[in-house]
Amino acid sequence: MERSNFVDQIRIYCRSGHGGAGSRHFMRTKFNPMAGPDGGDGGRGGHIVLRGNRNLWTLLHMRYFKNVHAEDGRPGDKNNMTGRDGKDVVLEVPLGTIALDEESGATEAEILEDGQEVVWIRGGKGGLGNRNFATPTNQAPDYAQPGEEGSEGWKVLELKVLADVGLVGFPNAGKSTLLSRITAAKPKIADYAFTTLTPQLGMVEYRDGRSFCVADLPGIIEGAAEGKGLGHRFLRHIERNPVLLFLIPADSKDHRKEFDILLGELGRYDESLLDKKFLIAVSKSDMLDEELRQAISAELPPDIPRVFISSLDGQGLQRLKDLLWETLNA
């Protein structure tokens, strides 16, 4: 069985560093054996930091970070010396990554830009040394604070593909073939369902050196919102695409019903997906005459732009690019 290098979800155990303890020390000098408290503060525990890297497109490399432990802060020392902070652990992740707490499911961080750094799990604060507790009535405090403990627990990193346009359609609608024709991407193409098991990205070269990103996403089946087929694992990637291109093959038995099923699955998964910009491309149109095109067009929703295309002979592909660019920049 083919092993995919695309990993869009990873579970890791994280522990940030504990803060160092404050020092409980008293200065002794030759001429002043009771010079007073001089215990320094403990250092901060190391943070766990997420950093966006546009050169990464999968969480595959995170398979080797099952346990992530940041360094503890060092304790304070005499002569008011503060302990060294624990070293931070920096995890580089692809753009579109969100960090979740496994137990609560709460979103804790989100990475959307190259070079963006977010302190995901903070290290514990260092404890105060006894010099901080000296007062006129207590000039020799014999105590200092322990450092705060770091945070630990199971966490989840989840990738949602960042692309300008998402291709939506049933299995074998021709999404992979279309992506291979309008971009330099080389997705797997075959005549059976679920050829595409992971999202495929491609850059469309447009006029005057401009470009935009298209994602070929695994096909939806009826019931995907309830987890059937590739279910939620596919649908979450659509959340990042501002424009959705519905691909409906010309040889479909009922074009409007197919569109309504696709739209219904999106709405059942997340109603906010229905607020995106929609376009319809009727694929395999090289087998249609003008009369059939008009009949199919009459079936489809009148308020959604549509274009007839054929990835086989290139028919309508430039018009499709123009329509996508206009919609993205409307």
Confidence label for 184 from pLDDT (cuts 50, 70 and 90): low
pLDDT in tens, 287-300: 888 899 999 999 99
pLDDT in tens, 267-326: 888 888 889 999 999 988 888 888 999 999 999 999 999 999 998 888 899 999 999 999
pLDDT in tens, 125-167: 999 999 999 998 898 899 999 999 999 999 999 988 778 898 8
Per the CATH hierarchy, to which homologous superfamily does domain 165-328 belong? P-loop containing nucleotide triphosphate hydrolases (3.40.50.300)
Contacts (Cβ under 8 Å, ≥6 apart) of 104: none
In a 13 Å sphere around the CA of 244, the CA atoms on its Cβ side amount to 22
The rounded distance, in Å, linking the Cα atoms of 13 and 3 is 25
Would the pLDDT of 22 be above 90? yes
Domain ranges in the chain are: 9-159, 165-328
pLDDT of residue 233: 60
DSSP secondary structure of 41-109? PPPPPPPEEEEE-TT---SGGGGG-SEEEPPPPPPPBTTTBPPPPPPPEEEEE-TTEEEEETTT--EEE
Would the pLDDT of 192 be above 70? no
Domain boundaries 9-159, corresponding CATH code: 2.70.210.12
Would the pLDDT of 224 be above 50? no
Residue with the larger pLDDT of the pair 202 and 218: 202
Number of Cβ within a 10 Å radius of residue 89 = 21
Would the pLDDT of 232 be above 60? no
9-159 and 165-328: identical CATH topology: no
